[in-house]
Structure 1
Amino acid sequence: MKYMFAYDLMESVRNTNEWMGATARAMASYPAFAMSMNPALPLIAAWGEVAERSFSRMNDKPDWGIRSIVGPDGTDHIVDVVPVVERPFGSLMHFSVRRREPMARKVLLIAPMSGHYATLLRSTVASLLPDCDVYVTDWHNARDIPVSAGKFDVEDYTLYIVDFLRALGPETHVIAVCQPAPLALAATAYLAAEEPAAQPRSLVLIGGPVDPDAAATEVTDFGRTVTMGQLEQSMIQRVGFKYKGAGRAVYPGLLQLNGFISMNMERHTKAFTEQIFRVARGEAGDHDAHNRFYDEYLAVMDMTAEFYLSTVERIFKNREIAKNEFVVAGRRVDIGAITNVAVMTVEGANDDISAPGQCVAALPLLTGLEESKKSHHLEPGAGHYGIFAGRSWRINIRPLVLSFIDIHSGGPKAKAKGGIRLAASK
């Protein structure tokens, strides 16, 4: 698998399916065929439309699509997405709201690098913008990064977070979603030892695998049963000639997407079958629920091979974060060095990706942090997506997170009203 022809073959299959969808839609929609009144023609055209859209989305980076927000004065405020720090493998982006006074809450939202773009957190960003000054880590597609840019593994990822925090300053509140939770914890501990003045005010870890062995899921079972050699041989390919990163070893997005879909094949098959019939009946819309979800879900990005393999080996197999043995740039990162940063963990009771127990495992590692600065929330009935972007996030978790941020913002007013709010978040 570790060859360019395998990568190009997958891209050729994707491209061919997109072309077949476009051809089927165009031919079945030919005006002269309408005279036959054949009921199969609308279905063929509908299948073509859905197929063309689906396979084309796999090759596109979605737009953030956040044009404006309503300010406290009731008027629309334009939102600009502005790069603050630009690096080869990821950038720090600021959602700058025009004509708005500086916000008291400065939030860095660390997006996962696990197959999808940072735009997976679009609804999370939109929900925070009215109340916070929001920054997001925008990780780049490895296929577009030349080999000359070098490697990028879990240590480099951690140091990127460190650099972003340095750029934002000590009044920052960090929210790490899913995969980056353990590495955000490590980055904070790194700063606690090396540059305490650059530490964030608070750190919220949402549904992340700090200790994967704390609760078994399909993801952890897979990590335990497969060897690193098997992973490298079966999952790693080299980017084809079509892209700037030609020759770079990656875990391809299309291969990741195949894994995502196979985990819930029946649900996805039903969703696409129903969408084809809706299109055939003229009931579908360009921005209906199906298209809104799958336009994002099908847009996948390649990961560098070293990042994927080091994540599996060091975070899941060796459990270096859980054992407090993680090393960055030759230095052991001691989680116990965190003494001033308030830490909150959030889990979903029905999370089948990072099951309850995996994220809250961060709190016992914080041996140098007083208990009043630790908090945990378990959301009943919530799955993985729901705890950062779904109904549970909007109704229950977001208010608790904002309350936690206010308590630990350092101002006298926040301290005075902190006790009641902290109790609510536990």
Structure 2
Amino acid sequence: MRYMVTYDLMEASRNMNQWFGATALSMASYPMFSMVPNPAFQWMAAWGEVTERTFQRMVVKPDWGIESITGQDGRDHLIKIETVVEKPFGDLIHFDVQGRDEMDRRVLLVAPMSGHYATLLRSTVKSLLPDCEVYVTDWHNARDIPVSSGKFDIEDYTLYLMDFMRALGSDLHVIAICQPAPLTLAATAYLAELDPDAQPRSLTLIGGPIDPSAAPTEVTDFGHRVTMGQLEETMIQRVGFKYKGVGRMVYPGLLQLASFMSMNAERHGKAFINQISRVAQGEASDRDPHNKFYDEYLAVMDMPAEFYLSTVERIFKAGEIASNEFVVAGHKVDIGAITRVAVKTVEGGKDDISAPGQCVAALDLLTGLPDDMKASYIEPEAGHYGIFAGRSWRNNIRPLVLDFIDANSEAPARRARTAPKKARKSRKIAAE
């Protein structure tokens, strides 16, 4: 599998399916066929439209689509996304709300590098913007990074997080979502040892695999079942000639997407059939629920091979974070060195990826942190996605996270918190 021709064949297959969809749409939409009362042409055009859009989205980075928010002054404030720190494998970006004073709550959202872009956190960012200054780790697609930029594994990821925290200063609250939770915990502990003044005030870990073996799932079982040699031979490919990262070893996003889709093939198949029916009947729109979800879900990015392999080997198989044996740049990081950063864990009761028990295990590792600076919460009905997006996040988890931030700030936030959307009858936040 580790050949450029394999990567290029996969891209060619995607491109061909996109072309098939575009061709079917163009042919079935030919004006002459409108004179023929045959619904087959409508269905052919609908199939082509859905197929073309599906395969096109797989290689397009979604836009954040957050143009403005309504402030407490009743005015719409434009959003400007600015780069604070620029690095080869990822940037630190800031959502600057134009015309608004800087908020007291300064939040760093650590986005996953797990096959999707940081825009997966769009709704999380939108929900925090009215009350916080929001910064996000915006990871780059490995296929676009030249080989000359070097490697990027979980140690490099941890060092990136440390640099981002240093750049923002200690008056900061970090929220790590899903996959980066163990590495964010390690980065905070490393800062506690090397640069205590750069530590954030609080750390919230949401649905992360701190100790994957604490509550096994299909994901953890897979990690233990396969060998590293099998993974390297079957999952790793070299970027083809079309992209700047030609020759770089990656875990392709298209390959991971195929794995995601196969896990719920029946549900995804039904969703696409229903969407074709809606398009044929003129009931679909560009931003209907199906397109909003799949435009993001299908937009995948390649991961550096060394990052993917080291995550499986060291986080899932060896459990280096869970056993407090994680090493960064030759230095053994001691999680117990965290003594003044308040830590909260959030889990979903129906999370089938990072099951309840995996994330809260972080609190047992914090041997140097007083118990009154530790907290945990389980949202009973939330799945993996629901703990950082959707109704569970908006109505239950987000208020608790903001309370935790305020409780561990130097002083209470000056500005009142924005009321939950369902309790307000004023204009909703603009997001298009």
Q: Same fold (TM over 0.5)?
A: yes
Give the aligned partner of residue 31 of structure 2: 31
> How far apart are the structure 2 equivalents of 1:371 and 1:201?
16
How is 1:140-159 mapped onto 2 (pairs within 5 angstroms)? 140-159=140-159
Q: Which amino acid aligns with 1:34?
A: S
- Residue 406 of structure 2 contacts residue 412 of structure 2 at CA under 8 Å; is this kept in 1? no
Give the aligned partner of residue 61 of structure 2: 61
SS in 2 for 1:138: strand
> How far apart are the structure 1 equivalents of 2:390 and 2:326?
32
Matched, 1:122 2:122: yes
How is 1:340-419 mapped onto 2 (pairs within 5 angstroms)? 340-411=340-411
1:299 shift after superposition: 0.1
Q: Which amino acid aligns with 2:238?
A: R
Q: How big is each residue's C-alpha offset from its partner over 1:334-376, in whole Å with a ceiling of 9 and x where there is no partner?
A: 0000000000000000000100000000000000000000000
Q: How big is each residue's C-alpha offset from its partner over 1:208-228, in whole Å with a ceiling of 9 and x where there is no partner?
A: 000000011110010010000
**1:96 to 1:261, Cα distance in 2 relative to 1, 3 A:** same
Give the aligned partner of residue 169 of structure 1: 169
Matched, 1:102 2:102: yes
1:411 shift after superposition: 2.1
> How far apart are the structure 2 equivalents of 1:32 and 1:337?
74
> How far apart are the structure 2 equivalents of 1:16 and 1:37?
30
Give the aligned partner of residue 339 of structure 2: 339
SS in 2 for 1:77: strand
Q: Which amino acid aligns with 1:183?
A: L
Q: How big is each residue's C-alpha offset from its partner over 1:124-182, in whole Å with a ceiling of 9 and x where there is no partner?
A: 00000000000000000000000000000000000000000000000010000000000
Matched, 1:242 2:229: no
> How far apart are the structure 1 equivalents of 2:30 and 2:37?
12
> How far apart are the structure 2 equivalents of 1:293 and 1:257?
14
Q: Which amino acid aligns with 1:147?
A: V
Q: Which amino acid aligns with 1:308?
A: Y
Give the aligned partner of residue 418 of structure 1: none
SS in 1 for 2:307: helix
SS in 2 for 1:345: strand
Give the aligned partner of residue 92 of structure 1: 92
1:332 shift after superposition: 0.3
Give the aligned partner of residue 284 of structure 1: 284
> How far apart are the structure 1 equivalents of 2:263 and 2:118?
22
> How far apart are the structure 2 equivalents of 1:164 and 1:15?
37
SS in 1 for 2:316: helix
SS in 2 for 1:143: helix
> How far apart are the structure 1 equivalents of 2:323 and 2:403?
31
Q: Which amino acid aligns with 1:82?
A: E
Could you tell me the percent identity over the aligned residues?
Answer: 73
How is 1:219-230 mapped onto 2 (pairs within 5 angstroms)? 219-230=219-230
SS in 1 for 2:7: helix
Give the aligned partner of residue 215 of structure 1: 215
Give the aligned partner of residue 301 of structure 2: 301
SS in 1 for 2:14: helix
1:410 shift after superposition: 2.1
Which 4+ stretches in 1 moved above 6 angstroms?
A: none
Q: Which amino acid aligns with 1:149?
A: S
> How far apart are the structure 1 equivalents of 2:131 and 2:175?
14
**1:413 to 1:44, Cα distance in 2 relative to 1, 3 A:** closer
SS in 1 for 2:46: helix
> How far apart are the structure 1 equivalents of 2:407 and 2:309?
38
Matched, 1:231 2:267: no
> How far apart are the structure 2 equivalents of 1:412 and 1:345?
22
> How far apart are the structure 2 equivalents of 1:409 and 1:190?
21
SS in 1 for 2:85: strand
- Residue 83 of structure 2 contacts residue 92 of structure 2 at CA under 8 Å; is this kept in 1? yes
Q: Which amino acid aligns with 1:169?
A: G
Gaps of 5+ in 1: 415-426
Q: How big is each residue's C-alpha offset from its partner over 1:230-261, in whole Å with a ceiling of 9 and x where there is no partner?
A: 00000000000000000000000000100110
> How far apart are the structure 1 equivalents of 2:342 and 2:21?
52
Give the aligned partner of residue 20 of structure 1: 20
Q: Which amino acid aligns with 1:386?
A: G
How is 1:243-262 mapped onto 2 (pairs within 5 angstroms)? 243-262=243-262
> How far apart are the structure 2 equivalents of 1:383 and 1:270?
21
Give the aligned partner of residue 43 of structure 1: 43
> How far apart are the structure 2 equivalents of 1:273 and 1:12?
24
Give the aligned partner of residue 430 of structure 2: none
SS in 2 for 1:74: coil
1:331 shift after superposition: 0.3
- Residue 104 of structure 2 contacts residue 413 of structure 2 at CA under 8 Å; is this kept in 1? no
Q: Which amino acid aligns with 2:169?
A: G
Q: How big is each residue's C-alpha offset from its partner over 1:184-227, in whole Å with a ceiling of 9 and x where there is no partner?
A: 00000000000000000000000000000001111001001000
Alignment coverage as a number of residue pairs: 414
**1:72 to 1:365, Cα distance in 2 relative to 1, 3 A:** same
1:412 shift after superposition: 7.0
SS in 2 for 1:344: strand
How is 1:310-349 mapped onto 2 (pairs within 5 angstroms)? 310-349=310-349
Please tell me the root mean square deviation across aligned C-alpha atoms, in Å.
0.8
SS in 2 for 1:399: helix
SS in 2 for 1:113: coil
SS in 1 for 2:299: coil
1:413 shift after superposition: 8.3
1:33 shift after superposition: 1.3
Give the aligned partner of residue 200 of structure 2: 200
Using structure 1 for the length normalisation, give the TM-score: 0.96
SS in 2 for 1:84: strand
SS in 2 for 1:276: helix
> How far apart are the structure 2 equivalents of 1:406 and 1:139?
28
Give the aligned partner of residue 178 of structure 1: 178
